[in-house]
Amino acid sequence: MRLRTSSVLRLIRPSIVTDVKSTRPFVCASCRRFSVLNRPPPKYDAHVPLTLAERTALTLGSGVLSFLNPRRGDMIAAFGELTAQPYFINRLRNIMLADTTGRRILRDRPRMSSSTIPLSYLSKLPSNTVGAAFYTWLEREHLEQDTRAAVRYIDDEECAYVMQRYRESHDFYHAVTGLPTMREGEVALKAFEFANTRLPMTGLAVASVFTLKPAEKRRFWETYGPWAFRNGTHSHDVINVYWEEELETDVQELRNRLGIEQPPDLRAIRKAERDKRKAAKAAEETIIP
């Protein structure tokens, strides 16, 4: 006996529905990528979003490499960014938001480079100005302006700019204090920055004082360490300085306004001690028959 067409459809329809439902999860699962590999989209140009595992591994690795090799600028930059969030960089942003000039900096988002602060302009400024001090420091240390890496690992876009601003302002701290870029000078400046900004990376940099030579350690503990912590703690927040607007300001006037005492000339002290050692050695050689 032949079944009617409608009867046949009624018989097979349940199995069709069941088969479709049973295969749907399999099809979707095969098309969907594993969720751990789904990296969130970047929030700004240089941003590199990281998973928790990646962030932990990079923090530990960059911290160890930064301590073992202070010349690894890439690792120092990465460690600085990874340890600054979430608390420390948010604190620095809040300091800027609480200050009139800091708010203007966050609104304007200025960037410091050779194109925005050209050397041709700096070289023509009077010798007592902030810009001239910056130019003289760059020439003496044989440095260029465009050496600061872009922030990559801070997730919040505004906080990333705060870190970028700190990074680009670092050379101005050198210029205003007069501290050189040799390791002894960098340790002293990082101690000042740690007391002023509380960024963990600057504190780790201070720990490298234990790798300095005995004479350098002595100078740090006796002179530059106390200077750094005293001035960093009591001076105004240097993150709120609009450096682009202070280039023609008298550098001593700016130091007074910020509450920063200029430390003893480290290069002059090192030279005097070298000359003293040479003179003592020469005296010994003349005595020996």
Angle at 117 between CA 112 and CA 120, to 5 degrees: 155
Q: Is 158 annotated as a binding residue?
A: no
Whole-angstrom Cα Rg for the chain = 29
**Is the CB of residue 89 less than 8 Å from the CB of residue 162?**
yes
**Is the CB of residue 159 less than 8 Å from the CB of residue 150?**
no
d(CA 95, CA 114): 28
Residue 277 corresponds to which amino acid? R
Residue whose C-alpha is closest to residue 193's, from 204, 184, 182, 183: 204
Peptide bond into 14 cis (omega under 30): no
Q: Is 174 annotated as a binding residue?
A: yes
**Is the CB of residue 137 less than 8 Å from the CB of residue 185?**
no
Q: What number of residues does the chain have?
A: 289
Residue 237 corresponds to which amino acid? D
250 φ/ψ angles, rounded to the nearest 5 degrees? -60, 125
| Annotation: binding site for Zn(2+) | 170-171, 174, 186
| Annotation: binding site | 170-171, 174, 186
